[in-house]
Amino acid sequence: MSTQIGRAARTKLVEVLTAGMAGVSAWPAPLPVVVENVAADIAEKSGGAQYPAAVVYCEKVSNDLREKFRSFSGTVQLAVEIRHSQDRLEGVEDALEQITDAVAGILSASRGDWGSGMFYSGAYEVSYGSVKRGGRNFLQTAKVSCEVGVGVN
């Protein structure tokens, strides 16, 4: 059951992001949304890496039985890892921050009832990684984590 709940929450987050990104023009290139928990270096080696990209995955599912008589009542922790790469070091962080702000704005605007027993409070956390070699020469990532409350029978 926890796998299905995590998958449903992840799918809903992808819907929220893709609908919100249609109206966001914070980046010059389209931002593909990838649904898989794959490290950037492995994605590059497999030949499937695109930049910039938003990688969406479920980090954790917790059934803490907050509501009596529900088969699942807890939280799902989701992550959106934003990956940006370019050939020059100058401006990598600025470009990543613009994309991250746009994603955070979409999340803030989507607080409330997500349907199917899911509720998003609007809270999120952003963490930035350091610039590394990879992609088009320099690669930096940011992770936006959010928690969705779920209560289903």
Reported as a pLDDT band with limits 50, 70 and 90, residue 21 is confident
Between 30 and 59, name the one with better pLDDT. Answer: 59
Q: What is the largest CA-CA distance in the chain?
A: 56
Average pLDDT, the chain: 91
CB atoms within 10 A of CB 46: 9
At 76 the pLDDT is 97
- Which tens digits make up the pLDDT trace of 49-58? 889 999 999 9
At 31 the pLDDT is 83
What radius of gyration, in Å, describes the C-alpha atoms of the chain? 16
Domain hosting residue 139, numbered range = 2-152
- Which tens digits make up the pLDDT trace of 29-54? 678 889 988 888 888 888 778 899 99
At 24 the pLDDT is 58
CATH number, domain of 134, equals 3.30.70.1700
For the chain, the domain total comes to 1
Give, in order, the Cα–Cα distances in Å from 86 to each of 42, 130, 133, 139, 140: 18, 14, 10, 7, 9
